[in-house]
Amino acid sequence: MFALVDCNNFYASCERAFNPALEGNPIVVLSNNDGCVIARSNEAKALGIPMGAAAFQFKELFVQHKISVFSSNYALYGDMSNRVMNILATFCPDMEIYSIDEAFLKFNGFDLFDYKEYGVTISQRVKQWTGIPVSIGFAPTKGLSKIANKIAKKFPKETNTVYVIDSEEKRIKALKWTKIEDVWGIGYQHAKRLQNVGVKTAYDFTQLPDDWVRKHLSVVGLRLKRELEGIPTLTLDEVKKKKAIATTRSFDKNYTQLTQLKERVSTFAVTCSEKLRKQQSCCNLVMVFVHTNGHRKDLPQYSKNIVIKTNFPTNSSIEIIKLANKGLEAIFKAGYSYKKAGVIVMGIIPDSTTQLNLFVKEHPKHKELMRVMDKLNNNIGQKKLKFACQDMGRTWKMNQEKLSPRYTTRLDEIITIRV
């Protein structure tokens, strides 16, 4: 039996967990630089705020309906997600973290358990320990657990936020209730194609011939069809090491000076290096890109990228900073207003299988220095120890005018209790 645990309106729930006065009030969370809406509470959805809405276009509506608006607080959201996942791991050892607010659980050897009761216990524990409400769907396959989760979320009172598909009758009823465009793995184009041949629900999809599904939706669609038929086809995905690691950001304002861009690119390079070391890998290629603001038609436009090969596989922040700045100097052009830049490390290999070079090699002290820096940053707080080429203040320079306190990761912003 599989279960999908999904945090309800996760970003909004994180804000409410530390500010109960927000309970029942509409909430929206904005993207980087407070550009557009990326998360909405149910109350905000009911007011017609669409996902991806440009914040400036809905400013009057926010005021009119007293909608609480927040900048993305990724430090808080990431920490709360870790807390939720750690709680789930105590209930089931086999877990796949699917996203920041979703996880699949696989219950092997739980045949004598009452899944409904067990799910309610999980839901209550997560709510009690973190303040985050969750919906849980149990089913024989991952695909069906997605549908079960939708039912639990759609009918929280009737299901007590937990729904179990444990019979053929429930499976068919759930499939007939689910629109084809809402099926996990069915994108817009596939949904359109299926609707054109009379497929309106997930149940209709399961009635199609296997050959037709394989021809028009490939083997991926055929696996999904079997999942919906109750035949386990998809397993929990193991955490795989990334083949490329990117750190990119839009700036809080237009940058015109090379020194400004160097500071940003250096910070991006450091972040990529930290991620390489975390997964015990090294890179052989470093890409740097810059571009201007495409929305500013009144300004001259320019974009460029460059790929630089390393002399040896490395995960040293010092080496990757040097290469990234070398690339930036090669593509930078004066006279432009730059709005975004990024660093991407590629050609990733395990750090245990690096090819030695007789003529050039990494400084022998870099490895130990990076280990100490990572340990200190992990112990005393992220980004406390920096390189001289980085800004000693903010790490990510974005417009975050409506940022809530980072209650769980910053001692100076910890919640205050008045007795």
**pLDDT by residue (tens digit) across 370-396?**
888 888 887 776 667 888 888 876 665
Cα 267 from Cα 25, distance rounded (Å): 38
**Which residue do the tokens 């050892």 mark?**
93
* CA distance between the termini of the chain: 46
| pLDDT tens digits along 332-380 | 999 999 999 999 999 998 888 766 666 667 787 888 888 888 888 877 7
**Which residue do the tokens 């005021």 mark?**
63
| pLDDT tens digits along 402-413 | 888 888 887 788
Strand duo 134-139 + 338-346: pairing: unpaired
pLDDT value at residue 399: 61
Contact call for residues 410 and 404 (beta carbons, < 8 A): no
For the chain, what percent of residues have pLDDT higher than 90?
Answer: 66
The number of residues making up the chain comes to 419
Task: Say yes or no to pLDDT of 240 above 90.
Answer: no
DSSP class per residue in 93-126: S-EEEEETTEEEEE-TT-TTS-HHHHHHHHHHHH
**Which residue do the tokens 């009379």 mark?**
198
Contact call for residues 83 and 407 (beta carbons, < 8 A): no
Record the tokens describing residue 54, joined without a space: 């440009």
User: Residue 186: helix, strand or coil by DSSP?
Assistant: coil
Signed CA dihedral, 305, 54, 403, 79: sign only: negative
Structural domains in the chain plus CATH codes: 12-72 (3.40.1170.60), 168-237 (1.10.150.20), 258-321 (3.30.1490.100)
Task: Say yes or no to pLDDT of 150 above 90.
Answer: yes
Record the tokens describing residue 388, joined without a space: 């001289």
Residues 6+ apart with CB under 8 A from 167: none
In sequence order, what are the beta bridge partners of 36?
A: 54
Cα 296 from Cα 301, distance rounded (Å): 8
In sequence order, what are the beta bridge partners of 138?
A: 3, 164
pLDDT value at residue 234: 85
Task: Say yes or no to pLDDT of 398 above 60.
Answer: no
Q: How many CB atoms lie within 10 A of CB 42?
A: 13
Please tell me whether the overall predicted TM-score, pTM, comes out greater than 0.85 for this model: no
pLDDT value at residue 403: 83
Residues 6+ apart with CB under 8 A from 280: 241, 350, 351, 352
Task: Say yes or no to pLDDT of 101 above 90.
Answer: yes
pLDDT value at residue 326: 95
Closest CA to 319 of 356, 280, 349, 276: 276
pLDDT value at residue 35: 83
Mean of the pLDDT values across residues 24-50? 90
pLDDT value at residue 381: 63
Record the tokens describing residue 179, joined without a space: 């629109």
Lowest-confidence region among 26-35, 85-94, 156-165: 26-35
Cα 377 from Cα 383, distance rounded (Å): 6
Q: What is the dihedral of CA 20, 100, 105, 228, to 10 degrees?
A: 110
pLDDT value at residue 354: 66
Q: What is the CA radius of gyration of the chain?
A: 25
Closest CA to 263 of 278, 274, 251, 277: 251
Contact call for residues 45 and 29 (beta carbons, < 8 A): no
What's the DSSP call for residue 236? P
pLDDT value at residue 96: 93
pLDDT value at residue 111: 87
Cα 208 from Cα 224, distance rounded (Å): 12
- What rounded mean pLDDT belongs to the chain? 89
Signed CA dihedral, 260, 413, 62, 78: sign only: positive
Task: Say yes or no to pLDDT of 114 above 90.
Answer: yes
Cα 246 from Cα 21, distance rounded (Å): 38
Q: How many CB atoms lie within 10 A of CB 67?
A: 20
DSSP class per residue in 331-397: H--TT--EEEEEEEEES-EETTSPPP-SS----TTHHHHHHHHHHHHHHH-TT-S--TTS-SS-SS-
Q: Where are the alpha helices (DSSP H) in 24-181?
A: 42-46, 59-64, 74-89, 115-130, 142-154, 156-159, 168-177
- Strand (E) or helix (H) holding 210: helix 210-228
pLDDT greater at residue 238 or residue 247 = 247
| pLDDT tens digits along 244-279 | 899 998 888 889 999 999 999 999 999 999 999 998
Task: Say yes or no to pLDDT of 222 above 60.
Answer: yes
pLDDT greater at residue 237 or residue 280 = 280
